[in-house]
Amino acid sequence: MIEVKKLIKRFGMKSVLRGVDFRVERGEFVALLGPNGAGKTTFLRILSSLARPSLGEVKVAGYSLPNEAAQVRARLGVVSHMPLLYGDLTAQENLEFYARMYGITEYAIRITEVLDMVGLASRRNDLVRTFSRGMAQRLAIGRAVLHDPEVILFDEPYTGLDQDASSMLDEVLKSVAAQGRTVVMTSHDLARAEDLATRFDILTRGVIAASSSREALGSNNLLTFYKQALAA
Amino acid sequence: MTNFLQATFAVFRKDITAELRSREIIFAMMVFSMLVIVIFNFALELDPATRKEVTSGVLWATFAFAGTLGLNRSMAVEKDRGCLDGLLLAPVDRSAIYFGKVLSNLAFMFIVEAFVLPLYSALYNVNLFNPGLLLVILLGSIGYTAVGTLLASMAVQARTRDVLLPILLFPIAIPVLLSAVKASTGFLNGVEMAEIWPSLNLLIVYDVIFTAVAFMVFDAVVEE
């Protein structure tokens, strides 16, 4: 579903990604872990067509980037630490706007389904600027799945959330993944990643330093695996 | 084509709905224009004949300054809340986003112009309700907004965006502002159409060229 070969991204003289090889099969939930500045966000921005690779091959849902970016975007949902929502529009209006941008014709029923899924049906007519951070983040997930994408990218979705909001987001993420979608999530929260993902990749110094499935981790916990990958 | 138009009008509709709630952009533009006109009114204590001569210059200076303020805010709202990424992730030709923003910025300009004209007429005792002048305002606003929206989407990426936009925009918009001032003066002073046509033609050419250039380069401008 996602195939990346020898990906290099440079900003001026600085190489942020130095030859990343990455492959995700359909239905996998991959947690992309790594320290600050490892290049996780840059990597997700390339996968989502918001940034161009300097070198290398990137394919998402069978389409290559950047040449087939529009086809990729139609099959992709993105949730970042910013909700990408308009504070002066209601939850319903935000979703209607994105439905029109994605060319969804019969969107009324779909919006109701999505608002039910993220638990915001009762707040559909409230302005997003009145939402708590957790509610905005749940609505952001609703926005990302509105067009029923095959692949979803989460970039630090737990940033700024309190314990309750994080637990609610866990449930939403699990329901999104349970629908058979391919998910890639970057996070600093190893416990949450361990709970949700089926595979763990460690990105450090611009390369994937280690990769392991949940089964292959065996009795080792994720923290040990993470520390070993960073030390290598 | 249907998707393109749908996306263009979705952006326009979203901007208008949000602005009607917040009144952030239009209110700032109106207050600013009012201040410019009042300051000019006190600064230029002129006789009625001279007032008529400077009317076009004062009007277009007001529109240009207020327009820059609006263009900056309109793109900053997208950038500050991360919504620009949301727009760019949509599977539509990115120029649809550009045209949607141009339409909404143009609507904000027209609202401010509709506020400025009667205010100016009252303060300066000059009749501005001239069909020719309204045509010039329409053409000039289109050109200014077309190039301004493109440059605002470029400037918004920079930390110094508030300073950067006027520095980029004013030199490029000089042809449209000069032609607009010249054509407006012509209509207000009852000059022969043969003398006004060159300025009107320049405005039309400028509108077409800059809209076409923006259509071609917008994708590259907003991409990282």
The interface pTM score, or ipTM, of the predicted complex is: 0.89
DSSP code for A82: S
Query: Which residues of chain B neighbour A100 with C-beta distances below 8 Å?
Result: 6-7, 9-10
A210 has which bridge partners?
A: A202
Specify whether the CB–CB gap between B217 and B147 falls below 8 A: no
Give residue A21's Cα distance to chain centre: 18
pLDDT at B49 over 80: no
pLDDT at A166 over 90: no
Name the token pair of A125. Answer: 């007519």
> Is A101 an 8 Å CB contact of chain B?
yes
DSSP three-state, residue A39: coil
Q: Chains A and B: how many Cβ contacts under 8 Å?
A: 79
Give residue A192's Cα distance to chain centre: 14
Tens-digit pLDDT profile for residues B170-216? 999 999 999 999 999 999 888 888 999 999 999 999 999 999 999 89
DSSP code for A127: B
Nearest CA in chain A to B97: A101
Per-residue pLDDT, B158: 83
Q: What are phi and psi of A88, to 5 degrees?
A: -90, 5
Specify whether the CB–CB gap between B58 and B37 falls below 8 A: yes
Nearest-Cα distance to chain A for B171, in Å, is: 29
Considering only the beta carbons, identify the residue of A48, A49, A97 that sits closest to B10. A97
Position with higher pLDDT, A173 vs A199: A199
Which amino acid is located at B97 in the chain?
Answer: I
Q: Which domains does chain A have, with CATH numbers?
A: 2-75+149-231 (3.40.50.300), 84-147 (no CATH)
Q: What are phi and psi of A186, to 5 degrees?
A: -95, 145
Tens-digit pLDDT profile for residues A27-38? 899 999 988 888
Specify whether the CB–CB gap between B188 and B52 falls below 8 A: yes
Per-residue pLDDT, B46: 67
Tens-digit pLDDT profile for residues A100-128? 999 998 899 999 999 998 889 999 999 99
Residue B124, number of CB atoms within 10 A of its CB? 21
Tens-digit pLDDT profile for residues B102-158? 999 999 999 999 999 999 888 888 888 889 999 999 999 999 999 999 999 989 888
Cα dihedral across residues B166, B171, B172, B178: positive or negative: positive
Q: What are phi and psi of B65, to 5 degrees?
A: -65, -50
Specify whether the CB–CB gap between A29 and A196 falls below 8 A: yes
Q: How far apart are CA B213 and CA A10, in angstroms?
A: 28
pLDDT at A194 over 80: yes
Per-residue pLDDT, A222: 82
pLDDT at B68 over 90: yes
Nearest to B71 by CA among B184, B173, B206, B3: B173
Q: State the pLDDT confidence band at B224, using cuts at 50, 70 and 90.
A: low
Q: How far apart are CA B141 and CA A10, in angstroms?
A: 40
- Please report where in the chains the tokens 């907003």 appear, as a residue: B222
